[in-house]
């Protein structure tokens, strides 16, 4: 039997991430919901939350594994390089709070 991630839980988590976490691009804030990255992050991090194994270093590593395409695909930059440190901290805090409320 395949372990299914509840769609509603992913959507709720993605909404929280997308509305609160942004990339900083030339001092412009591009929120992850607008960049269509919030769902991908929620899908990757949800198993950590549901198993109780949330680990900051694993989350940061996961962010480093998500490529952000720039210039129509001419270049890719790891998402972690586009998130200000404050947003990285906010993301961890958000995930910890989400896990407490599960």
Q: Which residues contact 2 (CB under 8 A, 6 or more apart)?
A: none
The tens digit of pLDDT for each residue in 28-64 reads 999 999 999 999 999 999 999 999 999 999 999 999 9
pTM for the complete prediction?
Answer: 0.91
**The predicted structure's pLDDT at residue 5:** 73
**Dihedral sign, CA of 62, 47, 29, 88?**
negative
Q: Where are the domains of the chain?
A: 1-64+88-102
């Amino acid at each position: 039997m395949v372990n299914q991630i509840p769609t509603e839980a992913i959507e709720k988590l993605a909404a929280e991430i997308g509305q609160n976490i942004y990339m900083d691009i030339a001092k412009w804030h591009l929120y992850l919901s607008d960049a269509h990255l919030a769902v991908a992050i929620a899908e990757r991090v949800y198993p950590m939350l549901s198993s109780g194994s949330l680990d900051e270093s694993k989350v940061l590593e996961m962010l480093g594994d998500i490529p952000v395409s720039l210039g129509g695909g001419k270049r890719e930059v790891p998402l972690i390089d586009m998130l200000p440190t404050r947003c990285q901290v906010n993301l961890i805090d958000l995930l910890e709070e989400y896990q407490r409320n599960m």
